[in-house]
Structures are given as structure tokens and as C-alpha cells.
Chains A and B, each alone.
Chain A
Amino acid sequence: MYVATKGGERAIENAHAWLAEERRGDPDVAELGLEQIQQQLSLAVTRVMAEGSLYDPDLAALAIKQARGDLIEAIFLIRAYRTTLPRFGLTNPVETADMACDRRISATFKDAPGGQVLGPTFDYTHRLLDFKLAADGDVPDAPRADPRMEPTPHITTFLQREDIIQPEPGSDETPGDLTREPMAFPADRDIRLQSLARGDEGFLLGMAYSTQRGYARTHAFVGELRIGKVPVEMEIPELGFAIEIGEIDLTECETINQFNGSKTQPPQFTRGYGLVFGQSERKAIAVALVDRALRWRELGEDNLGAPAQDEEFVLSHCDNIQATGFLEHIKLPHYVDFQAELELVRKLRRETMGDPQEAAE
């Protein structure tokens, strides 16, 4: 039972006024502009877009500023805004084969056509704090080389020719949408990939790591990891044809996993797939590993009872907004619930501690 109580309005108002002051910090320090957040904290911006499930760098920067850098709070703001938007339609599936790659690496083929392109990576840095950044300084221009403008082929297409990797049959079926229909289990792979794409990076990292440590062992090679811009096309009803309505940064990871042979099927590599808004390779690799672990049923593998194989467990807990909403609600007033518990425990104590008068009642 819920009993409404009133009160606390002034305290709440004052708390929010103080929050605004704390958010601003010392007024002698220059205020942070949204362009600065967008340009200089761009990976925080892409994380908020990915988990907020709305690609809009301006809004993500605003959310980060408003949330004082608390990214889950910022994601919450974006999710709330997202629900106010009328939906204009569905885009054509993005063609990641056409990506203008900033980065493209393969851990399986050294001499892949298009090459190993490192891009602006943290890899191979020494992870030593760079005190030069504490003092502001000019950044020297990054070197340029002869640009390669043609599309970079996917690594898996080479394996596909040999039929040595499981195919990804294309279709034009309209995929399920968990923002429109509540999730039901077992969930198909389209719903799983949508859920993982907006799932919490930390949670998915932990899940993916568990598969590497032996819980649902699906030894994965990173067949390919690519980051870059892809055009987004949508059919425009007024025109009767598709135009490009935007361009977004994506990170895509394709894993190549252990053989899967059976009585009827020759041994063949299997695949895991991760596609995420923005530059976020940790998340894309994690999604690919978890996607692969969740495919045990369709690939005829054993359910080892590993957490990463349990889609209800993974998909029901990877959404950090659902999780934080439920987790944090327990700090809100539960005075009446607690009062009932208190009465009960007092009564039980009286009974077990043998207050004869009470026990007789």
C-alpha cells in the first residue's frame, strides 16, 4: 500500500538551487562550453549517445554538462528526451562495408586488403600521465599520407568465399523494436543486438570477460574492428526514393569463433557481431563476444549454464537506466513499508524472547 505524504517542497527547491551552483563550480574558473565537451570529451559524448540510444552529439554534450559528468545520469536525460520525439521512420540498414574508416584492424589476417590502419588509438601508448596536457600546449599536425578513398572490404568476405565461416544470410524482414514492444524471451538475435547496442558498457565488459575466463568459452578472434563514418539513408515518402539524411560514426567488431562442426555440418567458423554508435571499441568487442555466447541455441551448442549464455539474465540487466532506476528508488521514502517491518520484527522478538504476556495474546 502506498500512502501519499506531502512536504519537503522548499527543501527540494533549495537542494536543486545548490545543485546548480555546485554544477557551475568556482565562478572564477571559465565555464565549460558545449562545443568544448563535444570536441574534447568526445568519447564521453559517444558513450552517452550509444547508451542513450540517440545519435545527437549536441544533446549528449548538454546532458553531460547538466549531469556534471555523471554519464549514467546523462544517458537517463537522453533516454527521457528520446521518448518525446515523434518517429519519422526507419532508415535503410547502414552499409558498414562503405565505411570511411578512421581505424581498421584485423587480429586474424596481417595482410588484409586495405591494410591494418591504427587510427587515433590509445593502443601502444604507455599509459603514463602526460603532464604536458596539464599546461596547455599546441598540438603538432598529425602526419598525412596518400589517402585511400575506395571502400575497405570486410575481412569475413574472404573467408566467406571458402565457405569456411558461417554465412550471414541477408533479408529485408522488419526487425523487432524493443522501444515499441516489451522484450519477450527467448528473444531473437535482432532484439538481442538492439539491446546490447544500448546496454551498459561496464556490464557488457564484465559479461564478455567472463566468457574469456571460461564461463561459456567461445574463444574469439577479432576478425575485424573498424571505426569510421557511414552514410545513413532513408526512404522519403514525399519523394518516393531514398536520400542520405545524415552521417554517423560507428564502431563495428566482427569476431571469428571456434569451429562448430556437427554430424550434418562440416567444421566451420562462427561469428559474433557488435555494432555501436560512436567510437567505442571496448564496447563493440564486448557486444560481439556476448552476442556469440548468446547464440548457443541456434548453433546447437550446449548450455553450460554460464551467465553470458542466459539471455534473460544478460538482456534484463544490461540496461543501466532500468537498473539505476530500480536500484536508486530504494533510497526514496519507504517510511510506511519500514514501519510495518519494524512492527513485525518487534513482535517476533517479543515472542522468541519470551515475554509471557505478549506470547499469550
Chain B
Amino acid sequence: MENPGEPVDPARKTWMSLLATAPGARLLQLWQAYGGQPDFNWLRPPEIGGVMVRGRMGGTGAPFNLGEMTVTRCSVVLNDGTVGHGYVQGRDKPRAQAAAVIDALMQTSAAPAVRRAILEPLTTARQASRQDRAAKAAATKVEFFTMVRGED
């Protein structure tokens, strides 16, 4: 643990979360198109592992272990000393590498360019896909109507 008790950085939390769940092919495509890939050294080369996903009894109660999911993680350091961490869902080392380097770049002066080239398109795509699923769900919402039967 390098910096326990570090306050939550909401912006960093948002972009790391976005990178963790981004579709692999799309992330790598945007990353390659970005073109400004810096040199870096590994602090921790990509490794594949599992995390235990927990649920809550009754949705709100005490936690229990539901089952595991696969995760790939790695850490990089740029030549200027900036450290980046990549945590992505599934088994995908190139994607974890891209996520870690992007995390590092987002802490440098390259942040606005990276945000424009990678994070914004990913955010838009994620929102669009969620919206579309929600729209399909909404179309299956039951509209009840009451039929009056018999005489009273």
C-alpha cells in the first residue's frame, strides 16, 4: 500500500472506472489513434487474477460472497515519475496496459488531449448504450387498464 488513507479523487475514480469497463476493442482503437504513447517502465507487469464479488442478503443486509470475476491489473511509471494503475474487467493484458498508461497521462499536462481523444468518446458510447438498453426496457413496461365486468 503506497498511500493509505488517500482522499478519494472523484475525477480519477471516474476515468479509472470508465477504463475498467470499456469494451476492449474500442479502447485499444482509440488508444492507437491517440498517437502520443509515452515511454514507460513497469512497476507491476500485467497479471490476471480473480476478485470475490460480494452481494448483500435481501439486497440491503449483511454481505455474502457471490462468486468471483476475472480482472487484469498492472502499474506503470512514466519517465517523469508519474505512476498509473490499470484495472480492467476480464483477461486482457493490452487493455490493462493502455488503461494504466492513460491513467498516468491523465495526471500530466496531456490530460486535456487524452480526455478529448479517449475518455470523451468512451463516455459517450457508454451513455448511448445504457440509454438504448433503458429505452428497450421502457418499451416493455406494462400499461395496465381495467376492464369493468358484470353488474354491481
A and B pair up: yes
Contacts of A172 in B (CB 8 A): 63
Report the separation of the CA atoms of residues A247 and B129 in the bound assembly, to the nearest whole angstrom.
13
Whether, in the assembled complex, A164 has its beta carbon less than 8 Å from a beta carbon of chain B, the answer is: no
B142 CB to closest chain A CB, in angstroms?
4
> Is there an interface contact between A170 and B53, defined as CB atoms closer than 8 Å?
no
Residues of A115-136 contacting chain B, CB below 8 A: 115-121
Q: How far is the CA of A12 from the CA of B11 in the complex (A)?
A: 57
**Do residues B13 and A170 form an inter-chain contact, with CB atoms below 8 A?**
no
B53 touches A240 (CB 8 A): no
With an 8 Å Cβ cutoff, the count of chain A residues facing the other chain is 88
Q: Main SS of chain B's interface residues?
A: mixed
- Residues of chain B in range 28-69 having any CB-CB distance to chain A below 8 Å: 47-69
CB–CB B60/A170 < 8 A: yes
**B90–A56 touching, CB < 8 Å:** yes
> With A237-B1, A241-B6 given, is the CB distance from A148 to B138 under 8 Å?
yes
**Binary A-proximity of B1-38 (CB < 8 A = 1, otherwise 0):** 11111111100110011001100000000000000000
One of B51, B63, B90 near A93 (C-beta < 8 A)? B63
In the docked arrangement, what's the CA distance between A97 and B60, Å?
8
Which of A23-31, A84-92, A210-218, A315-323 contacts the other chain? A84-92
Q: How far is the CA of A190 from the CA of B54 in the complex (A)?
A: 10
Contact in complex: B57, A168 (CB < 8 Å)? yes
Nearest chain A CB to B21 CB, angstrom units: 5
Judge whether A91 and B49 touch: CB under 8 Å: no
Question: Which A residues touch B97, using CB under 8 A?
Answer: none
Determine whether the beta carbon of A169 is less than 8 Å from that of B66: no
Cα distance A243–B99 when bound, in Å? 13
Asked whether, in the complex, the Cβ of A245 is within 8 Å of the Cβ of B87, the reply is yes
Which chain A residue shows the least CB distance to B63?
A: A93
Cβ B61 vs Cβ A168 within 8 A: yes
Identify 5 residue pairs between A and B in the complex whose beta-carbon atoms are under 8 Å apart, listed by A's number: A100-B134, A120-B136, A144-B132, A239-B16, A252-B59
Known pairs A146-B138, A177-B52, A246-B21 / 7 extra A-B pairs, C-beta < 8 Å: A56-B91, A87-B49, A148-B134, A168-B56, A169-B61, A238-B85, A242-B13
